Chains A and B, each alone.
Chain A
Amino acid sequence: MPILIRLDVEMAKKKISLSDLAERIDLSQANLSILKNDHAKAIRFSTLEAICRVLECQPGDILEFIPEEK
């Protein structure tokens, strides 16, 4: 998938665990794990907003576009 999730990088910068982040953004650990491991098909703006607020970052810090090689 061309959009990569760099959530683990931001989590490491803020030294926050998956379970802590899940609790603070009111999302289940399972769903957050789906996002972290690049299995998610879509992300709600409300979820993205909550993650950026807790990790004090921009959406571009978490999402990276890598074009597919032709």
Chain B
Amino acid sequence: MESIGKRSLSFMLRIITDFCIVVNVAVLISLPWLTKYIVRILALTFVEYEPYNFILVFLYICGVFALGILLQGHLILRTLEKNQPFDARNSKRFFRLGVMSLCISCVFFIKIFMYNTLLTITGTGLFALAALIAFILSDVFLKAAKIWEEHELTV
């Protein structure tokens, strides 16, 4: 199976991304009730649980940035489907993706000082790494777009 073009892996990944966007929006809308349910379950265990308000704000901020990441991913995958990977706009999209990942990493970092868990530390590192990778890809795609444009205008 091809990785870019119609009926390719990027098409399948875009479908999955679109599904994740729908789920993300649904979760963001129902977050106050979902969070109450999660806090109630955590309170039943012997694990130290985080207060409702803090979890709600934390999840809302992360959820909004995650939605932004998914939307940028959707746009990038659409260009791959159209067999136009070296679109200069993809560079900006990767940059925005990196900024949003960095924001999530910062939120996780703040959480370390308030309600620290192993997952919080892991999340901080993973999202920071994702941000760095996205910034590098942004630069790579910008250079690739320039080379592609020169190639297209070479007679």
Contacts and interface: CB of A to CB of B under 8 A. Distances in A.
Contacts of A40: 153-155
A46 B53 CA distance: 70
A43 B155 CA distance: 5
Tier of interface size on chain A: 10 to 19
A32 B154 CA distance: 10
Contacts of A44: 154-155
A39 B152 CA distance: 11
Interface string B139-155: 00000000001100111
Interface string A13-55: 0000000000000010001101100011111100100000000
A35 B154 CA distance: 9
Contacts of A43: 154-155
A42 B154 CA distance: 5
12 contacts: A31-B155, A32-B155, A35-B155, A40-B155, A41-B149, A41-B150, A41-B153, A42-B154, A43-B154, A43-B155, A44-B155, A47-B155
Given A35-B155, A40-B155, A43-B155, 14 more contacts: A31-B155, A32-B155, A34-B155, A40-B153, A40-B154, A41-B149, A41-B150, A41-B153, A41-B154, A42-B150, A43-B154, A44-B154, A44-B155, A47-B155
